[in-house]
C-alpha cells in the first residue's frame, strides 16, 4: 500500500462521525433493554443480531479495545498491540462472529495486600474486539434482569453503593450477618451451566463456548480450560455476573415461606431478609440467627449448580452489635469495617449507632505503601517524593471519603509525619531539628507544619493530608436503574459525585453539564475520561481551569493529533487537504466514500 493510501486510511479513522455511530448503537441498546424488561425475547434477540451486524457497533468495539482500554498496549499470544488507524479499520472489516478463537496468554499479577498471585488470561486483540462487540449486545439484555442488590462489575454501580445498601438494611435494627466469599469463583464456574443460563441464540452461544474452551498459554505451554472464565477478558465480568445471577431471588423465595411475626406482612418479611452482593463477595442479613444459618445452606446448594462453593476461611457468622460465640461484633466488607455500638438515649433513640470506617487491614496496607515510597526515595528531592506520595494519598482518602474516616485519616497523617521526620533527619544527620524543620516544613495559608518545597516566588509543592479530605455522604444508586434506561442526565450527574472521581475532573464534568466538548455526547459510566488543555502547553497554554476541558480518551487522541503535538503520527497534519468522509448505507451495509 502506498504512503498516500495509508495516510488516507489514517485520516479516515479520525474523521469518522463517532457521534452518529454512538447514537445509533445506544438507541439499539436502549431498545434491547426495554424489550428484555418486558420479557419480549423475540424482539431483543432480533435487535441483538441487528446490532452485531452493524458497522457502527463493530467500529465502536474496535475503538474500545484499541484506544480506550487500559490494556490496549498489552499483547495476546499473537504479539499484536497498539494498532494503527489503518489496522483498526482493517480489524473492523473482518470482525465477525464464528471466526477461530486463539488461546489466552497467562499473566500472573500480585493480589493487593497479600503474597498470592492472581492469574490473568489476556486474549488477542481480535478476540478482545469480538468480546466487546458481544458485550454491547448482551449487557443491555442482562441489565434489565440483574437483581437490584448486585453491584460488582456493573456500569453505574460501585463498592460505595453496596456499602450504603448494607447501612440501610441495618440502620434501624441490629442483625446477624453471614459474611461469605466464593472460593475461586472465576476459575470454577461450570461452562455448561453458564451457557444454559445465558440462553441466547446459537451464534453467540457457540462464540462464548469457544472463548471458554480456548485454553491458556503459560510459559509456552498450552493448558486446556475445562471450567471457569478467564480473568482479563472484556466479557469475563459480565459472564461472572450472569453465573451468579439469581442468588438474591433464591433468598427472597425462602423469605416468602417464613411465617409473619410481630404484625409484619409478607412484604415486610421479605424486605427484612437481605442479600447484598459485589462480584463474588456477599453478605446475608437478618435479625434471626436460625434464618441466616438456613440461608447459608440454601446458598451452598444453589452454588453447587454452577460448580461453586463457599470458602470456609473467608466465611463467618457474626452480629452487627453484640458478640456472637467467639466472633467479635461487626464485619469487614470491600475494605470497610461495619459495626454497631451501644449509645445512650440522648445519642440515639434506638440505643445504638451504625459506624462504618476504613478497615484496620486496609489502613495498615496503605501506611505500608506510604512508608515504602519514603524508604525508597531517601536520596530523591523533596518535590519528587511529594509527587510520588500525593496520588497514593488522594486516591485512598477519596475512596473512604463517604464514611466515618476522620480518626483514621488523622492517625495515618501522624504516622506519615513520623516517617517524614526520620527521612529528613537521615538526609541531614549533622543538622539540628530546627534547621531541618525550616527546610522541609512550612506554614501555608494559616496551616502549620505543611511538608512542602521552599522556592522563593514560586508556588510550593505540598504534600496532601488525609484529614483535609471532606467527608461527603454517598447517595446510593436507585434500585433497578440502569445506564441503558435512557436517563443520561441522571447518570452523568452521578459520575461527577462518584467518591473516586478526581476533584478537577468532577468540577469540569459539572461545568460541561456532563457532555464532552469535542463530540458533544453525554459521558457514560463506561467511558474513559481525560483532562485536556484547550491551548496545549507546548503552545503557551496555562494549567488553569479556563484552559481545561474534559474529553473522552478517543476524542483527546483526535484533538491532540489535530493540535500537531510532537510524537503524534495520525496523518491529520499532512499538507494534503483532508478528504471529507461520507457514510452511506447500501443494502444494509455501511459503505465509506470520499467527497
pLDDT in tens, 390-443: 999 999 999 999 999 999 999 999 999 999 999 999 999 888 988 988 888 888
Q: Is residue 406 part of a domain?
A: yes
DSSP labels, 236-255: HHHHHHHHHTTHHHHHHHHH
Same domain, 448 and 369: yes
C-alpha cell at 112: 493487593
Dihedrals phi, psi of 351, to nearest 5 degrees:
85, 5
C-alpha cell at 503: 476533584
Region 278-290 average pLDDT: 90
Same domain, 520 and 462: no
Region at 15 (left for phi over 0; alpha for psi -120 to 50; beta for the rest): alpha
The span from the CA of 299 to the CA of 249, in Å, is: 11
Same domain, 442 and 518: no
Element (H, E) at 332: strand 331-333
Same domain, 449 and 372: yes
- Burial class from Cβ neighbours inside 10 Å (0-12, 13-18, 19+) for residue 448 reads exposed
Dihedrals phi, psi of 38, to nearest 5 degrees:
-95, 0
Candidates 204, 79, 92, 191; CA nearest to 137 is 204
Same domain, 441 and 405: yes
Structural domain boundaries enclosing 386: 361-468
Alpha-carbon 279 to chain mean position: 12
The pLDDT > 90 percentage for the chain reads 33
The span from the CA of 293 to the CA of 172, in Å, is: 22
Q: Is residue 285 part of a domain?
A: no
Q: What angle is formed at CA 304 by the lines to CA 299 and CA 310, rounded to 5 degrees?
A: 55
Dihedrals phi, psi of 431, to nearest 5 degrees:
-95, 150
Q: Is residue 107 part of a domain?
A: no
The span from the CA of 475 to the CA of 493, in Å, is: 12
- Residue 255 pLDDT: 84
| Domain CATH code at residue 541 | 1.10.30.50
The span from the CA of 532 to the CA of 165, in Å, is: 36
**CA 473, 479, 480, 483: dihedral to nearest 10 degrees?**
-20
C-alpha cell at 333: 466488607
- 146 and 253 in contact (C-beta within 8 Å)? no
Q: Is residue 253 part of a domain?
A: no
| Residues near 245 by beta carbon (within 8 Å), at least 6 away in sequence | 142, 145, 146, 147, 150, 197
- Residue 125 pLDDT: 86
Q: Is residue 386 part of a domain?
A: yes
- 151 and 237 in contact (C-beta within 8 Å)? no
* Number of domains, the chain: 2
Q: Is residue 432 part of a domain?
A: yes
Strand 104-110 relative to strand 216-218, pairing: parallel
Same domain, 409 and 451: yes
Q: How does DSSP classify residue 74?
A: -
- Residue 44 pLDDT: 92
The span from the CA of 374 to the CA of 380, in Å, is: 9
Candidates 54, 161, 74; CA nearest to 121 is 74
Which range is most confident: 233-237, 262-266, 345-349? 233-237
- Residue 219 pLDDT: 77
Region 119-124 average pLDDT: 82
Candidates 275, 305, 236; CA nearest to 147 is 275
pLDDT in tens, 6-65: 545 555 877 788 888 888 999 999 999 999 999 999 999 999 999 999 999 999 999 888
Neighbours of 359 (CB within 10 A): 20
Same domain, 379 and 454: yes
The span from the CA of 73 to the CA of 244, in Å, is: 31
Residues in the chain: 595
Same domain, 367 and 439: yes
531 strand-pairing partners: 550
Locate all alpha helices (DSSP H) within 144-221, ordered by sequence: 159-170, 185-188, 191-198, 202-212
The span from the CA of 521 to the CA of 392, in Å, is: 32
Same domain, 419 and 507: no
For CA atoms 99, 105, 110, 115, the dihedral sign is: positive
Dihedrals phi, psi of 493, to nearest 5 degrees:
-65, -40
Q: Is residue 441 part of a domain?
A: yes
pLDDT in tens, 464-497: 999 999 998 888 888 778 888 888 777 777 776 6
The span from the CA of 420 to the CA of 575, in Å, is: 55
- Residue 589 pLDDT: 39
Q: For the whole prediction, is pTM greater than 0.85?
A: no
The span from the CA of 125 to the CA of 132, in Å, is: 11
Same domain, 451 and 422: yes
Locate all alpha helices (DSSP H) within 54-124, ordered by sequence: 55-63, 85-93
Candidates 424, 584, 579; CA nearest to 13 is 579
Same domain, 404 and 501: no
Of 13-22, 107-116, 184-193, 243-252, the one with minimum mean pLDDT is 107-116
Element (H, E) at 443: strand 441-444
Q: Is residue 558 part of a domain?
A: yes
C-alpha cell at 450: 505543611
Q: Which residue has the cell 451451566?
A: 193
Same domain, 512 and 557: yes
Amino acid at each position: 500500500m502506498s504512503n498516500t493510501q495509508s495516510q488516507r486510511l489514517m485520516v479516515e479513522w479520525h474523521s469518522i462521525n463517532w457521534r452518529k455511530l454512538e447514537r445509533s448503537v445506544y438507541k439499539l441498546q436502549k431498545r434491547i433493554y426495554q424489550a428484555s424488561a418486558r420479557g419480549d425475547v423475540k424482539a431483543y434477540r432480533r435487535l441483538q443480531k441487528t446490532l452485531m451486524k452493524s458497522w457502527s457497533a463493530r467500529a465502536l468495539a474496535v475503538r474500545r479495545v484499541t484506544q480506550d482500554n487500559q490494556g490496549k498496549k498489552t499483547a495476546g499470544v499473537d504479539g499484536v498491540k497498539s494498532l494503527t488507524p489503518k489496522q483498526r479499520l482493517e480489524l473492523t472489516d473482518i470482525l465477525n462472529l464464528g471466526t477461530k478463537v486463539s488461546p489466552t496468554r497467562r499473566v500472573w499479577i500480585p493480589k493487593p495486600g497479600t503474597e498470592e498471585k492472581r492469574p490473568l488470561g489476556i486474549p488477542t486483540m481480535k478476540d478482545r474486539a469480538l468480546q466487546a462487540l458481544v458485550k454491547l449486545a448482551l449487557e443491555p439484555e442482562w441489565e434489565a434482569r440483574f437483581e437490584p442488590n448486585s453491584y460488582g462489575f456493573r456500569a453505574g454501580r460501585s463498592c460505595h453503593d453496596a456499602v450504603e445498601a448494607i447501612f440501610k438494611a441495618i440502620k434501624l435494627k441490629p442483625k446477624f450477618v453471614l459474611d461469605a466469599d466464593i472460593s475461586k469463583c472465576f476459575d470454577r464456574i461450570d461452562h455448561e451451566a453458564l451457557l444454559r443460563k445465558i440462553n441466547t441464540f446459537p451464534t453467540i452461544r457457540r462464540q462464548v463456548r469457544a472463548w471458554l474452551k480456548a485454553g491458556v498459554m503459560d510459559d509456552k505451554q498450552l493448558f486446556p480450560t475445562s471450567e471457569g472464565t478467564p480473568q482479563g477478558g472484556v466479557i469475563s465480568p459480565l459472564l461472572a455476573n450472569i453465573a451468579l445471577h439469581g442468588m438474591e431471588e433464591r433468598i427472597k423465595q425462602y423469605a416468602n415461606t417464613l411465617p409473619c411475626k410481630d404484625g409484619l406482612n409478607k412484604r415486610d418479611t421479605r424486605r427484612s431478609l437481605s442479600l447484598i452482593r459485589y462480584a463474588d463477595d456477599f453478605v446475608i442479613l437478618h435479625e434471626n440467627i436460625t434464618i441466616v444459618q438456613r440461608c447459608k445452606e440454601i446458598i451452598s446448594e444453589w452454588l453447587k449448580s454452577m460448580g461453586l462453593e463457599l470458602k470456609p476461611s473467608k466465611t463467618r457468622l457474626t452480629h452487627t452489635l453484640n458478640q456472637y460465640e467467639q466472633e467479635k461484633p461487626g464485619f469487614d466488607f470491600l475494605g470497610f469495617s461495619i459495626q454497631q455500638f451501644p449509645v445512650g438515649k440522648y445519642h440515639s433513640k434506638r440505643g445504638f449507632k451504625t459506624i462504618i470506617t476504613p478497615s484496620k487491614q486496609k489502613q495498615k496496607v496503605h501506611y505500608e505503601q506510604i512508608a515504602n515510597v519514603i524508604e525508597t526515595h531517601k536520596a530523591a528531592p523533596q518535590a519528587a517524593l511529594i509527587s510520588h506520595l500525593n496520588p497514593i494519598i488522594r486516591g485512598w482518602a477519596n475512596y473512604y471519603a463517604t464514611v466515618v474516616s476522620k480518626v483514621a485519616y488523622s492517625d495515618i497523617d501522624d504516622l506519615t509525619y513520623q516517617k517524614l521526620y526520620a527521612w529528613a533527619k537521615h538526609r541531614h544527620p549533622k543538622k539540628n531539628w530546627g534547621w531541618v524543620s525550616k527546610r522541609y516544613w512550612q506554614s501555608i495559608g494559616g496551616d502549620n507544619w505543611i511538608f512542602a518545597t521552599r522556592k522563593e516566588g514560586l508556588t510550593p509543592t505540598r504534600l496532601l493530608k488525609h484529614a483535609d479530605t471532606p467527608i461527603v455522604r454517598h447517595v446510593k444508586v436507585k434500585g433497578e436503574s440502569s445506564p441503558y434506561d435512557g436517563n443520561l442526565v441522571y447518570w452523568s450527574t452521578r459520575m461527577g459525585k462518584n467518591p473516586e472521581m478526581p476533584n478537577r475532573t468532577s468540577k469540569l464534568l459539572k461545568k460541561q453539564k456532563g457532555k464532552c466538548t469535542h463530540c458533544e455526547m453525554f459521558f457514560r459510566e463506561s467511558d474513559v475520561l481525560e483532562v485536556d488543555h484547550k491551548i496545549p502547553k507546548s503552545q503557551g497554554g496555562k494549567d488553569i481551569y479556563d484552559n481545561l476541558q474534559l474529553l473522552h480518551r478517543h476524542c483527546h487522541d483526535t484533538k491532540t493529533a489535530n493540535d500537531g503535538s510532537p510524537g503524534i503520527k495520525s496523518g491529520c497534519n499532512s499538507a494534503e487537504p483532508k478528504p471529507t468522509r461520507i457514510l452511506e448505507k447500501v443494502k444494509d451495509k455501511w459503505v465509506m466514500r470520499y467527497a
